[in-house]
Amino acid sequence: MGLPVPPFAHDVFGPDAIILKGLDGLNWRLKDYEARGGYQALRKVLAEKIPPEAIVNEVKKSALRGRGGAGFPAGLKWSFMPRRFSGQKYLVCNSDEGEPGTFKDRDILRYNPHVVIEGMALAAYTTGASVGYNYIHGEIWDIYERFEEALAEARAAGYIGKNILGSDLSFELHAHHGFGAYICGEETGLLESIEGKRGLPRFRPPFPASYGLYGKPTTVNNTETFAAVPWIVLNGGEAYVNLGRPNNGGTKIFSVSGDVGRPGNYEVPLGTPFAKLLDMAGGMRDGRKLKACIPGGSSMPVLPGGVMMQTDMDYDSIAKAGSMLGSGAVIVMDETRCMVKSLLRLSYFYFEESCGQCTPCREGTGWLYRMVHRIEHGKGRKEDLDVLDNVADNIAGRTICALGDAAALPVKSFVKHFRDEFKYHIEHGKCLVPEYL
């Protein structure tokens, strides 16, 4: 039970893993990574002088979609970087993994940091960025320290720095840690934070590709996105897309948590049925029934268990089912979970993490939280559910960044799918879930 303690079996993250393949929890150092074939992609690109455009094309072909939550095609994003821009360009890795339920970037950086470094070096080569930052969540300090160690190894071995492996490529990579603010995981809030300012998201346009870090063209990708790049460069985009499904290329690490037998990270091909993923995670704990599941991190709409069991784990299938794959945090809830209480926890989180910059989120998240709090504590009113839904509507899509949507979607989906439970709370002042469960 619980997370595996190193050394663990090489296939603990799933038999089809790419990024987390062959890891035992101790073999994270440079020599281990090289022994697993690490840095071959970088060597190949530099030796063969593969044109950057060709790499962008392979990544486009691979259907690698952003692993941080939005699922934006990575190749397309890279192609936005102005090629002819002669000034400074930046590359930023978003390891500020703050989405409740998500803990995959942590394990990538902990058990296989070099794959991120190699992926970033390849991206730097492709986008023309000469400086990169890996912004690591402030509450996983040991991971930050490990990444610094890995960076030192890579630098000493000539994978990072001036004239990498004797080539023309120069790329300096820095680790940067936040202090735990959720909003700093929002890419433009993250850029502000690197610049030493309050982590307040910027309005777009302009997008980071034209006006990013310090006002320079910048590409921001998630840790897992970068980690997938070396494999794509070595094996080709087509091979990658074939691992998953069309438009949903490759494997995805799902952080499965909640009421399951073996919570943890599982890297499976996109398109894997949820049932199979649940099985890998040890099935429902104590044989209880699946009541609900948030398939993509706390910001995404919750789905009833029945819907979930019919769904495959890829971007398009989950969207069709009415939620989003998001960061791949699968939060599993069994029949003992009170949906009002669960929503209260989520609403408090967004209330507390709102940056306060723009009106709907600053004012609306507190309103949502207070209403749910009242309902949970037996002081709900019958009009509350409609107001909740309407207030959520007034936040979603009207804020500077996606935190507004993230706060609104859970509210809307919880009330939609479990309206009876909320009504029961309001009418009876207590929970529908029997106490004996």
Partner 1 sequence: MIEIEIDGRQLQVAEGSTIMDAAHRAGIFVPHFCYHEKLSIAANCRMCLVEVEKAPKPLPACATPVMNGMRVFTHSEQAIDAQKGVMEFLLINHPLDCPICDQGGECQLQDLAVGYGASGSRYEESKRVVSNKNLGSLISTDMTRCIHCTRCVRFGREIAGIMELGMIGRGEHSEIITFIGKTVDSELSGNVIDLCPVGALTSKPFRYSARTWELTRRPSVSPHCGLGANLTVQVKQNRVMRALPRENENINECWLSDKDRFSYEGLNSEQRLARPMLRRGSAWEHVEWQVALDFVARELKRIRERHGAASIGALATPHQTLEELFLLGKLAREFASGNVDFRLRQADFRADERLRGAPWLGMNIAELGSLDRALVVGSTLRKDHPLLAHRLRQAVKRGMQLTLVNPVDDDLLMRVAAKAIVAPQAMPRMLAQVLKAAARLKNGELPAGQRAALEAIEVTEPAERVAASLVSGKSAAVFLGNLAQHHPDALELHALAQELAALTGARAGFLGEAANSVGGYIAGAVPFAAEPRGMNARQMLAEPRKAYLLLGVEAELDTHDPAQALAAMRAAELVVALSPFEHKAVEYAHVMLPVAPFTETAGTFVNTEGAAQSFNGVVRPLAEARPAWKVLRVLGNLLGIPGFGYDSAEQVRDEILGGGELAARLDNRLSDTTLGMIGAAAGGLQRIGEVPIYAADALVRRAQSLQRTRDAATAVAWMNRALFDRLGLRDGDQVRVRQGTGEALVPAAVDDRLPADCVRLAAAREETAALGAMFGPVEAERVAARQQVAV
Q: State the residues that interact with partner 1 by CB under 8 A.
A: 181, 183, 198, 203, 205, 351-367, 370-371, 374, 387, 393-394, 397-400
Closest CB to partner 1 among residues 41, 391? 391
d(CA 94, CA 92): 6
Q: How far is the CB of 315 from partner 1 (least distance, A)?
A: 18
Closest CB to partner 1 among residues 52, 364? 364
Handedness of CA 198, 199, 201, 205 (dihedral sign): positive
* Residue 414 near residue 425, CB atoms below 8 Å: no
Q: How far is the CB of 204 from partner 1 (least distance, A)?
A: 9
Any idea what the Cα angle at residue 294 is, between residues 420 and 73, rounded to 5°?
135
Q: How far is the CB of 71 from partner 1 (least distance, A)?
A: 16
Which residue is it, tokens 């259907």?
63
Closest CB to partner 1 among residues 280, 368? 368
Closest CB to partner 1 among residues 24, 393? 393
d(CA 430, CA 356): 33
SS3 state of residue 301: coil
Q: CB-based contacts of 15: which residues, under 8 Å, 6+ apart?
A: none
Q: How far is the CB of 345 from partner 1 (least distance, A)?
A: 16
Closest CB to partner 1 among residues 323, 365? 365
d(CA 145, CA 2): 24
Closest CB to partner 1 among residues 126, 354? 354
Closest CB to partner 1 among residues 36, 374? 374
Q: How far is the CB of 388 from partner 1 (least distance, A)?
A: 11
Q: CB-based contacts of 268: which residues, under 8 Å, 6+ apart?
A: 14, 16, 251, 252, 254, 276, 277, 280, 313
| 414-to-108, 218, 302, 351, 417 alpha-carbon distances in Å | 31, 37, 6, 17, 5
Q: How far is the CB of 396 from partner 1 (least distance, A)?
A: 8
* Residue 124 near residue 169, CB atoms below 8 Å: yes
Closest CB to partner 1 among residues 373, 416? 373
Count Cα neighbours of 228 within 13 Å in the Cβ-side half-sphere: 34
Closest CB to partner 1 among residues 23, 361? 361
DSSP track, 344-401? HHHHHHHHHH--S-SHHHHHHHHHHHHHHHHHHTT---TTHHHHHHHHHHHHTTSSSS
171 - beta bridge partners?
161
* Residue 45 near residue 296, CB atoms below 8 Å: no
Q: How far is the CB of 102 from partner 1 (least distance, A)?
A: 21
Q: How far is the CB of 407 from partner 1 (least distance, A)?
A: 10
